[in-house]
Amino acid sequence: MTELEMPASVFDQMVAQARAAAPIESCGILAGGDNRIEQLYEMTNIDKSPIHFAMDPAEQFAVVKKMRAAGLKMLAIYHSHPLTPARLSEEDQRLALTPDVAYLVLSLKDAENPYAKVFVVDRAQARQVPLTIVKG
């Protein structure tokens, strides 16, 4: 994956979920086709922690089924950083094990200006890929 496009409506939904969950990290799955995100699936952070997240395996399984039924591909797993910048922590990087999926981190550090960065992790090396927010 070399880049990702996200509609503004999906970005706004992700920010609303993160603000509602703060100071706990929020998380979820972004799906679409090619490099274009079309759908966001909010997930429960079963760690209920301000510095960790873990998705509920049963909930994740249900989302994967919905995604397949809709003909969408899992493009990225996202989580929020309520108080820290949008970068992968060492633990995030260690737990980034799903192949061919990008990892998006949404930072609420500047409460008025939330921003996101996307990373691809390959052999324990994280590389940032461009994210473009598009109209829609």
- Backbone angles phi and psi of 54, in degrees to 5: -150, 135
| Interacting residue with Zn ion among 20, 23, 68, 89 (CB under 5 A) | 89
Minimum Å gap between C-beta 76 and Zn ion is 14
Those residues whose C-beta lies under 8 Å from the C-beta of residue 32, and which sit 6 or more positions away, are: 38, 39, 72, 73, 75
DSSP for 12-68? HHHHHHHHHHTTSPPEEEEEEETTEEEEEEEE-BTT--SS---B-HHHHHHHHHHHH
The piece of 7-15, 31-39, 90-98, 119-127 that touches Zn ion (CB under 5 A) is: 90-98
Minimum Å gap between C-beta 69 and Zn ion is 30
The piece of 5-13, 40-48, 84-92, 112-120 that touches Zn ion (CB under 5 A) is: 84-92
Residue 42 interacts with Zn ion (CB under 5 A)? no
64 vs 126, beta carbon nearer Zn ion: 126
Short-list 87, 108, 95, 104, CA closest to 21: 108
38 vs 81, beta carbon nearer Zn ion: 81
40 vs 105, beta carbon nearer Zn ion: 105
Residue 92 interacts with Zn ion (CB under 5 A)? yes
Give contact residues for Zn ion (rule: CB under 5 A).
Answer: 89, 92
